[in-house]
Structure 1
Amino acid sequence: MARTRLGLVLTGGTIGSTSAGEAEVVRLVRGPDAGGLPSWLAGPLAEFGPHQLTVRRPIEKHSEEARPDDWSAIAGACRAMVAGGVEAICILHGSDTMSYAAAALSFGLADLDVPIVLTGSNLPPDAAASDARTNVGAAMTALRELPGGVYLIFAGIPGGDALVHLGTRVRKERAAGTAFVSPNGGPVAIVRSGRVVRLRPWPRPRPPEDVPVAARFDARVLELRVHPGLPFTAMEAAYVAGGLHGVVTELYPCATGPTGDDDTSLERFARFVTERGGIVVGTVPATPDAGDAPYPSLPTLTSAGIGFLPGVLTSTATVKLMWALAASDGDPALVRSLMRRTIAGESIVGTAGPALPAPVRPETAALRGRPVAR
C-alpha cells in the first residue's frame, strides 16, 4: 500500500539557515511551531508523491549546539506523529552531529515500524551550489519504499547520487561533498536518478522484546580517543569532578591501547572507573579483519573492565551508552548487558545475514602472501 501520510521535522542546522551578510555567515531561519514551510521545499517534497503533510519544529539550532535532551525532543515529535497516523518521517538536521542524532533516534524509537530519514545540507538552501534540494528529494524518494528503521541519507553534491546509511552505522568524515560514510558494512542503498538501488539486503533492526525502549539519555559519558602520552590522571580527575557514569574510548585501529601502571595507562584508568561502578567501553575506527589475531594489550584491557565492541562505531557507542545508562537507571550489570546486545542494527559482528567482504589492506595482504593490487 502506498504511503500518503508524511511527517516533516524541522530542527534548524545549515539546511534551515540562510547565507546572510557580506561575510556569508550561516544564520538560522526562525519559523512558527508548525507550518510556514520555506518555498524551496515544495519541489523536493513532491518526490514523495501525493501526501498529507504534518510538520513539527521541536528545536531550532545549529547541530553543533545539540544536547541529548534535543534528541529526546525530536524523538517525542516523531512518536507523536506516528501515533497520529504518519507513515514516514523526514528530519531536517544540521550535519555536524547528525550521526549522533541518527543513533539516538535508532535506540530511542527502536520499537516503531515506520521509516525515519535524517538529512541536511553542506550549504544553506539559498546558496548557489546548495545540495539541500538534492538531499531532501533523495530522502523523499527513499521514504516511499524503505522498511521501518532510522536512516541517514546524503548526497552532498547538487544532482549527485545519495547514499542511504543505517542510522547506527554512519559517521561524518568531512565538511563538504559526500560527507558521510558507513565504515562497517557500507551503505545499505543508493538513490540514483529517482530510484532506490539496494546495495545489500534491507536491515531489519528490531530490539529484543525484553528491552525497554525510551528516548532518554544520561549525558554523563566521556568519549575520548587514545593517543600516546594521554595523561589519564587528568581523565580520572575529570571523571570524578563531572560525576560521570561511563567512558567510551576509541582504541588504536588494531584494537590496542596502553597498559601498565603509569599515568598514560588505559588499563589503570579502566580499573579506576570500574572500581567506582562506572562503565568503560572500547571501540575501534572500523571493524578489524576477522582473521587478525588480537595483540596482547586487548585481553589485558578487557580484563581491566573494558567492554570491547568491535563492530560498533565510537559515536554510536557513546549514544548507546547514554541510552543504556538511562534505560537501566544506572545498574552496571544491566548496562553491560544492554551494551553487549544488538538493539538497532549497530553491530555487524554476530548479526544475521550476509556481510559485505571487508577490503584487504595492502600491507595485510602482503603479510598473508596474497597478491597486492596496485
Structure 2
Amino acid sequence: MTVLLFWALALLLFALACALGKRVGLIPIVSQLLLATLALPLLMLLWIEPHWQLDGAMLVAPSWFKTLYGCSFALLLGHILADVAELRIDREALKLAVPSFLVPFSCGLACALWLLDQGGLTALALGLVFAITAIPVLYLYLRAIDYPPAASRRLLQAAILIDLACWLLLGLGQGSLQPGSLAWPLLAAALPLPLHFAGLRAPRVYGALFLVLLFVAEHYRLNALVFGIGYLACLAWLKVPVRMPLPEAWSRRLQQGMAVPLILTYGVVQIDVHHALQGFDALQLAALLALPIASKLLGNWLGLCWAAPSFPGASKWRESLLLNIRGLSEIVFLNLLLQQGLIGPALYFALMLMSLVATLMPAMAGLHRIPLNTVPTPRRPHAEL
C-alpha cells in the first residue's frame, strides 16, 4: 500500500511542479527535470527511506508497476522513434548534424575509455549520450521564442539526423553482442509486410500495433530499438504514414502526466542517495558535467560555421545552445542503458545532472519563457513534452 502511495505522491508532485513552472514560464520538461534531479533524491533521503522503510528496489518491484512502466516506456519511445522516422534530409541540416554528432560522440568515447575505464558497448553508449539532442524540447523552445520557420526546420532536421544515428547505433551495438537475440525483434518488425499485402491500410492500426509490440519487447527484454527502427522502416517502405492510435491531445496529457514522471522517477529512486556520486572522484564528476556540454557546443559551432546561415543575422551562439538541449530523449536513452545494466546508478545520476544543466542553459540565456496566454500546441511529428 505504501508503494502505491509513493507513486501517487510522485505523480502529484510532478503535476504541481508543472503547474508552478507554467506560472513562471517554464516548459513542462524543465520543471519535471528540476523536480526529478533535485527534489526526489531529497525526498527519498529524508522521508521515504527512514520513515516509510522503502528503497528503490522495493518501489519498482510490484508487477503492476512494471506493467505501467512498460506502457510508459513504449509510449515515449514510440513517439520519439516516430519523430525520427519523419526525417526529410536537407543538405544544410546534414552539414550541421555531422559535426554536432561526431565531436561529442568522439569525446564521449574518449571519456569512457580513458577517464572511466569503460569499454565495449558501455563506451559506445556513453558517446551516444554525449551526442544526443532532445527533439520535442527543442521544438518547444523554438516555438516559445518565435524562431523563424526555415531556421527552426533546419535545426529540427539536424536534431532528427543526430537522434537517428544515436538510436540506430545503439540498436546495432546491442545486436552485435547477441546476434541470436535479433531474430524475434526482426520478425516482429517485418509484421507490417504481410498485413499490408493482406489489405490492411489503416495507419492508426499500425500505430497501435507498434506500441503494443514495443511494450512486449520491453517486457521480455528483447531489443526494442532494433524492432522499433525496423518496424518504422517497413512502414516507410510501404509508404504507410506513422499515426499513433490516441488523439494528439490525449497522448500529450498521458505523456506529461504519467509517462514522463514514471520514466524520470524510475531511474532516480534506484540511486543510492547516501553514496550517489561516491563512485567518481572530483575530476571524473567535473568531466561528466562539463565535457558533454562543451563538446556538443563545439560540434554545434563547427556545424553552423560549415552550413550557410539560416537567416541574416542568425546567432551561432544561440543556435549552438538550442542544439545542446537534452531533455526527454536523453532521459529515455539513460533509462534504457540503466535497465540493461550498461551504466550504473551513479553514472546515471551524474548524466541526469548534466542533462538538467544543458536543458536549462537556453533558459539562462533568456530563451525559456512561453507566452502564458498562448501556450503552443505542437503538431506531429513533435509532441509537447
TM over 0.5: same fold? no
- Point out the structure with the larger helix share: 2
TM-score range, shorter chain: under 0.3
| Higher CA-based Rg | 1
Q: Bigger relative contact order, structure 1 or 2, given CA contacts below 8 A and separation 6+?
A: 2
Q: Larger % of strand: which?
A: 1
